[in-house]
Amino acid sequence: MKPKAREVRQTLLCTLADGEFHSGETLAQTLGLSRTAIAGHISQLTDWGLDVFKVKGKGYKLNRPLILLDEQTIGQQITMPHKGNIRVAQVIESTNTELKDAASQRASGDVILAEIQTAGRGRHGRQWLAPVGGSLTMSMYWRFNDGYQSMAGLSLLVGIAVCQALKQCGLDEARLKWPNDVYLYGKKLAGVLIEVEGQLGAPADSIIGIGLNVTVPEHEYDVGQPHIDMSHELGPDLNRNDIAARIIEQLWELLPAFTQHGFEPYVATWQELDWFADRTVVIKAGNKRISGVNRGIDASGALLLETSDGITRFHGGEVSLRAG
C-alpha cells in the first residue's frame, strides 16, 4: 500500500470512529481529494471489514461508534515499569511484518498494535481475518541472546500470558490448545504466531504475534473454524485498550524469566490450562494422522502422545491437533 493511501485511510477511520455522519464533500475538502476518491477509499475500508453505510444527503456513518486503540491509553493502564515502546498503527499490512521491517529501530519488549491488517496471517501462511474494532491484533519483539535453543516452548508461554491476562479481565474459562491457540468452551478465542530470525550459534530475534477475538459474533463472521469471542462471556462493553494493556503486562513479566530459565517452570501451569488434557486426540503431521491420548507436554513444550507403542513426543511446525 502506498504511504499516501495508508495515510488517507487512517484519517478516514479516525474521523468515522465517532459514529456520526460525515459528508463526502467535507471529507474530500479535509483530505484534498475528490468525492470519487473518498468513495474509493471508503470502499476499500469496507472490504477490510469496516461496517460503513451511506445515506444520500447525509454522508458516511459507521454502524456503531468505535473506541480505537490508543498507545497513550494503553501505556497509562500498565502498572509495571515499561519494558518497551508501544505503538498503534491504524492501517498496516501486518503487525509481524511491521516489526520485522523495523529491525534497526526495535528493542526487546517493543509492541505494535493495528486496527486493520491488510495482509494478516496465521500459522502455515493462512490468512488471519480480523473485523475492524472487534479484534485485538498485536505483535511484540523479543531477542534471545542464547539463540534458538533458548526459545523452546515460547508459543506455549505466550498462551499462558494471554490466559492470565484474560483472567484479569474477568474471563476465567480460557484454556489452551497445543501448540498455539487459546480456547473458550471448545472454540477458538485467540491464536499465537511466532516468527524467528537468526542463525545457529547466534542470537535469535522473535516476533510474537497475537490475534484475539473481542467482539466477533460467530453468526456474522466466518473465520474458517468454530470461534468465539470475549463478549460471549463478558458482554459487549469491552475496552480493547485495557485488554491490550493486560496482555502486554503479562508478556513483559514472563518473558525475562523465560529467557533466563526456559519453559520448565511453566509446564505445570500450562497443563492446568490444557483443554485436551487426558483426552483422545488426533495429531496431523503432513499426510499422517496419529491417534492417542494427550498426556501433556515436556519441559521443551513438546506434546506427549500416548499410543499402543508408548509415549511419542511431537514438536511444533506442521503438527496440528484436533479433538478425536
| Residue 152 · residue 263 · CB < 8 Å | yes
Instruction: Return the closest-CA partner of residue 13 out of 98, 117, 102, 122.
Output: 117
Write down the residue that cell numbers 498462551 correspond to. 159
Phi, psi angle pair for 294, to nearest 5°: -70, 115
Place of cell 494478516: 120
3-state DSSP of 60-83: EEECCCCCCCCHHHHHHCCCCCCC
Which DSSP state fits 40?
Answer: H
DSSP class of 272: H
Residues counted in the chain = 324
Q: What is the DSSP letter of 227?
A: B
Q: Which three cell numbers stand for residue 104?
A: 534497526
SS3 319: strand
Q: For residue 56, what are the contacts with CB-CB under 8 A and spacing of at least 6? A: none
117 with 211: CB under 8 angstroms? no
Cis check: omega of the bond before 65, within 30 degrees of 0: no
| Residues that are catalytic | 123, 188, 322
Cell digits of residue 186: 471448545
Q: Identify the DSSP state of 121.
A: B
**Burial class, 15, CB count within 10 angstroms (exposed 0-12 / middle 13-18 / buried 19+):** middle
d(CA 12, CA 166): 31
Helix (H, G, I), strand (E, B) or coil at 46: helix
